[in-house]
């Protein structure tokens, strides 16, 4: 498989995860985008389900990894703070975003530690 095809499948896999874990309109938009993306790149369901996303976190330096994590945690924290003053939908969205962030980075940290052994 070419590097370009791997990148295409990685993006499709991320869209699929968002279509499953997203909240409200985010989930529906991700489903629509995934369908369109799969058609554009001739991706079959079998090809997508058999693909394991490449882990770019393992190859990153510690500094680059921390910078990536910080870029994503700031909106999560701000969303959490703002949800306290908003409505229930905002709070549900914020909780889902926090859980997604934790899942993503805890897995990445474990993978990085295992890779350094």
- Residue-wise pLDDT for 4-59, tens only, equals 888 888 889 888 888 888 777 888 898 999 999 999 999 998 888 887 766 667 77
**Range from 24-33, 83-92, 100-109 that averages highest in pLDDT:** 24-33
- One domain, residues 36 and 91: no
pLDDT at residue number 53: 67
Pairwise CA distance, residues 107 & 84, whole Å: 28
- One domain, residues 72 and 42: no
- One domain, residues 22 and 71: no
- One domain, residues 26 and 45: yes
DSSP secondary structure string for all residues of 6-61: HHHHHHHHHHHHHHHH--THHHHHHHHHHHHHHHHTT--HHHHHT-----HHHHS-
Q: How many domains does the chain have?
A: 2
- One domain, residues 75 and 36: no
- One domain, residues 44 and 68: no
- One domain, residues 50 and 60: no
The boundaries of the domain holding residue 23 are 1-54
| Its pTM surpasses 0.85 | no
């Amino acid at each position: 498989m070419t590097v370009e095809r791997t990148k295409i499948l990685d993006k499709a896999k991320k869209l699929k995860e968002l279509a499953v874990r997203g909240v409200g309109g985010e989930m529906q938009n991700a489903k629509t985008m995934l369908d369109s993306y799969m058609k554009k790149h001739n991706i079959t369901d079998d090809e997508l389900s058999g693909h394991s996303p490449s882990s770019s976190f393992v190859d990153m330096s510690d500094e680059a990894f921390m910078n990536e994590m910080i870029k994503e945690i700031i909106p999560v924290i701000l969303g959490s703070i703002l949800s306290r003053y908003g409505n229930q939908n905002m709070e549900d969205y914020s909780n889902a975003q926090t859980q997604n962030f934790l899942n993503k980075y805890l897995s990445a940290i474990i993978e990085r530690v295992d890779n350094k052994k």
